Structure 1
Amino acid sequence: MADRPASPAELDRLQADIERWLDRQRQQNPLVEAVDVDDTGERRWFVRLKGEQKDHTTVWLHLRQRTLHYETYVMPAPEEDHARFYEHLLRRNLTFHGAAFAIGDEDAVFLVGALPVDTLDEGELDRILGSLYAYVERCFRPALRIGFGSRFRDT
């Protein structure tokens, strides 16, 4: 599959594997608050996680012909100290595996990544969900203090 798009049958199998894994996560993982399926016909799922540093994180999984794309919204664009904010995120990218900070719609900050579908298995799904959760938990508060610091300072 690496050099060619996955067939419809292969995508159906992968979709079933992902849905079985998500059902187990919903039942067994105390951090998983909800799992929803995209109702537009896309092979896309939304996994809502309970956090500590950030109250909730939603991970989007999107099965495509060649990759499983995944992302999570981290925060809006910074209001201040832009250079230091983005430097912080870029330096954090160096410590991540399989995901990186990116600028998305309305200049919001996301963590994004993709995995070739021919390497997709439960271990990789665990790694993706766990990594995105850990990266958000590790980076959210420091980034918030840099990009929105004046909101939290005593006057």
Structure 2
Amino acid sequence: MSDLFSDSSLAIIERQIDEWLAKMKSEDEVILAIDHGDPDPAYRARWYVRMKGDTKDFITVWLTLGQRTLRYETYVMPAPEENIAEFNENLLRRNDNLIGVHFSLGLEDAVYLRGELPLSGLAELEVDRIVGSIYAHVEQCFRPLLSIGFASRFKNQ
């Protein structure tokens, strides 16, 4: 049993994602740019959706098309400089309320929001939900996380 998608099926999915993202950009002024990046050799295609944030200046969502899944992630912030245990506890507690994404640590302990969707469940509304959810979660958590992990920098604010 294999759930690998054929090259022709992946080409169709890639075109669909291109169309869906273009439509999203035309309908939402928060989306500043959509770029089709060079994929990692292990993946078929990669997109960058750059959005203007309110609490964080810019939010970029990376969508990566694989043989079985669409992976998505955004960089939230660098590793905290202080209150690390409280910061990590806050991330874990937030994870409990998230659907379809989770906080994770990347290189140098930077904080990311990541998720993955089986291609069998891929649809235009799901791509919209993914991008919108990531945007909303970053906007909601950015300042509180900064105030914990970089507290001494924001004492007078």
- For the superposition of Structure 1 and Structure 2, which TM-score range results when normalised by the shorter chain? over 0.9
TM-score by length of 1: 0.95
Aligned to 1:131: 133
Deviation string for 1:41-68 (max 9, x for gaps)?
7400000011111111000000000100
TM-score by length of 2: 0.94
Aligned to 1:69: 71
Structure 1 CA distance, aligned partners of 2:94 and 2:145?
Answer: 10
Q: How much does 1:32 deviate?
A: 0.2
Q: Secondary structure at the match of 2:59?
A: strand
The runs of 5 or more residues in structure 1 that have no matched partner are none
Aligned to 1:38: 37
Aligned to 1:21: 20
Aligned to 1:80: 82
Structure 2 CA distance, aligned partners of 1:24 and 1:89?
Answer: 33
Amino acid across the alignment from 1:102: S
Q: Secondary structure at the match of 1:102?
A: strand
Amino acid across the alignment from 1:145: S
Amino acid across the alignment from 1:29: D
Aligned to 1:91: 93
- The match for 1:111 among 97, 110, 113 is 113
The runs of 5 or more residues in structure 2 that have no matched partner are none
Aligned to 2:11: 12
Higher relative contact order (CA 8 A, sep 6+): 1
Structure 1 CA distance, aligned partners of 2:2 and 2:57?
Answer: 40
Q: Give the number of equivalent residue pairs.
A: 154
Find runs of 4+ consecutive structure 1 residues off by over 2 angstroms.
39-42
Structure 1 CA distance, aligned partners of 2:38 and 2:68?
Answer: 21
Structure 1 CA distance, aligned partners of 2:134 and 2:77?
Answer: 14
